[in-house]
């Protein structure tokens, strides 16, 4: 057995991961984006993401990215269509949006036309009906969340 293959094996332990909510067993320490795509039957027109706990953003997984599955918790992967044109509802009004995520400042710009970083000016951003990564909550300066149509 090659030395590289030995380093990738995880012994007799079976590692688990989820792809779009479905649980899978994996016998190697690492898995690539291409292997996740094949295992989860994810089409090429969708991006793959590794769900990361807040306050960090989810990580995009390219086909050649290697993910270590031997970390303490089960890794959760999901996918989204690469062509992301949606409508956000901001202050009760529809707003076109083309990105997969939105920052606090971008929400304020959609709502009021501009964002003033003056510390004496206070904005309140709350949201609901969001995607499974962040279904509802509040945002403060520096936050970024995934978006979903309407």
Rounded Cα distance between 74 and 93, Å, is 39
Residues 140 and 74 in one domain: no
Residues 106 and 125 in one domain: yes
Q: How many distinct structural domains can be found in the chain?
A: 2
Residues 53 and 100 in one domain: no
Q: What is the DSSP code (8-state) at residue 10?
A: -
- The whole domain housing 119 covers 86-146
pLDDT tens sequence for the chain (150 residues): 444 444 455 556 789 999 999 999 999 999 999 999 999 999 988 999 999 988 888 899 999 999 999 988 999 999 988 766 789 999 999 999 888 889 999 999 999 999 998 989 999 999 998 888 889 999 999 999 988 888
Reported pTM? 0.52
Rounded Cα distance between 73 and 82, Å, is 27
């Amino acid at each position: 057995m090659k030395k590289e293959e030995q380093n990738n094996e995880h012994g007799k332990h079976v590692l688990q991961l989820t792809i779009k909510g479905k649980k899978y067993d994996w016998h190697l320490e690492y898995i690539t984006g291409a292997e996740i795509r094949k295992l989860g039957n994810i089409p090429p027109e969708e991006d793959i993401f590794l769900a990361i706990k807040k306050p960090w953003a989810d990580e995009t997984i390219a086909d050649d990215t290697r993910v270590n599955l031997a970390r303490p918790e089960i890794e959760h992967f999901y996918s989204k269509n690469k062509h992301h044109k949606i409508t956000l509802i901001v202050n009760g009004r529809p707003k076109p949006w083309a990105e997969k995520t939105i920052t606090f400042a971008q929400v304020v710009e959609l709502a009021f036309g501009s964002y003033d970083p003056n510390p004496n000016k206070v904005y309140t951003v709350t949201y609901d009906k969001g995607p499974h990564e962040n279904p509802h909550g509040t945002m403060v300066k520096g936050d970024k969340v995934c978006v979903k149509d309407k």
